[in-house]
Structure 1
Amino acid sequence: MEPNVTDAIHLRQYRADDVNDVFREMLITIHTEVYADVMDDEFNQRFPWFVGHWSDMDGFTCVVAYDGREPVGFIYGAPLAAGREWWRDHITPAPESPSTFAVSELMVRPAWQKRGYSTRLHDELVSDRPEALAVLLVDTEHPRVQALYESWGYAKVGDRRPFADSPLYAVMVRELS
């Protein structure tokens, strides 16, 4: 069924205190729909673990886009704790201890893709962040996704494989105002 797309899309922010089993299941259901063609990949099957890991972090923030009451996409991340700024290995010289917000996941359900919702979700997540930098990883096999982040002001500073079985990711950094 094709959604009735209107300007009625609304965004809602959630914090760690808002996360419960129903919320986690909503994120997992959206992920399963977005990645339906690659869910046999063991790395993608670990998404529920990542949701738990990130939502337990201090400062976790998630923005969900809704078309009426229907969730159509989300983005989430959290500030990195001092000493956990993994991106520093890719910048020489690394800036002196800037606070960093890590953007972990951004996805929009297929029926709502290519309508600007990713941009709206991203902007809502990072627009008022107090941190100096935003960082994220993009699968190097998805150059169009990397180009989208570059259009939002991110720059690739290196490549990283955070887990032995994960894809190779582009490390991307953006200054926040």
Structure 2
Amino acid sequence: MPSYAVTPFGERFDRHGTEPGFVAVLAYADEHPVGYAYGNRIEHGDRYWQRTSPAPADAYTEHPVLAVKEIGVRPNWRKTGTARRIHDALLLAGPDERYVTLMVNEAAGDGKVHALYRSWGYEDIGHSQPSPASPRLTVMIRPVR
């Protein structure tokens, strides 16, 4: 009987999938998966906001917000606009929140991922370290529409 290891992604996905307002989208081309995104609704007082420093403005936290937890695109589909289309599909699939937030490692892609999110209208509002093993992440936010 083969043994299977649960990957860190699988552990995160299992945990995030049970959180309120979970939503996910998968992108396919010619019946083959090319990317995904998922997130969930966070409320005022959520640990997401508690770990953000400095504390975000009340305007961002007083109503539920969609937190994008992960976006992934297969290498051959990067730099094609696929990630943006998946992101936008996630916003349409989710509940009707005013804002969407995400966290990014500023070093990812030598800063290109952070710059990409800025080009999508996100702005930096603070930093977070979700776990002792994670790097310090930049918390970004933008209006949904």
Match of 2:114 among 146, 150, 153: 146
The TM-score with structure 2 as length reference comes to 0.83
Kindly provide the amino acid, as one letter, of the partner of residue 94 in structure 1.
Answer: D
Residues 74 and 121 in structure 1, CA contact (< 8 A), matched pair in contact too: yes
Note the C-alpha offset of 1:92. Answer: 5.5
The equivalent of 2:22 in structure 1 is 60
Whole-angstrom distance in 1 between the partners of 2:57 and 2:139:
16
Kindly provide the amino acid, as one letter, of the partner of residue 79 in structure 2.
Answer: K
Match of 2:69 among 97, 100, 104: 104
Note the C-alpha offset of 1:127. Answer: 3.6
Residues 92/66 of structure 1: CA separation in 2 closer, same or farther (3 Å cut) = closer
Residues 158/89 of structure 1: CA separation in 2 closer, same or farther (3 Å cut) = closer
Q: Which digits, 9 at most, give the CA deviation of each residue in 1:73-106, with x for residues without a partner?
A: 0000010144206346435643261221100000
Q: Which runs of 5+ in 1 are unaligned?
A: 1-27, 29-44
The equivalent of 2:85 in structure 1 is 120
Residues 156 and 172 in structure 1, CA contact (< 8 A), matched pair in contact too: yes
Kindly provide the amino acid, as one letter, of the partner of residue 30 in structure 2.
Answer: G
The equivalent of 1:170 in structure 2 is 138
Q: How does 1:10-159 map to 2 (within 5 A)?
A: 45-84=7-46, 86-87=48-49, 89-91=53-55, 93-95=57-59, 97-127=62-92, 129-142=95-108, 143-159=111-127
Whole-angstrom distance in 2 between the partners of 1:169 and 1:68:
35
**RMSD across aligned positions (CA):** 2.0
The TM-score with structure 1 as length reference comes to 0.69
Residues 82/94 of structure 1: CA separation in 2 closer, same or farther (3 Å cut) = closer
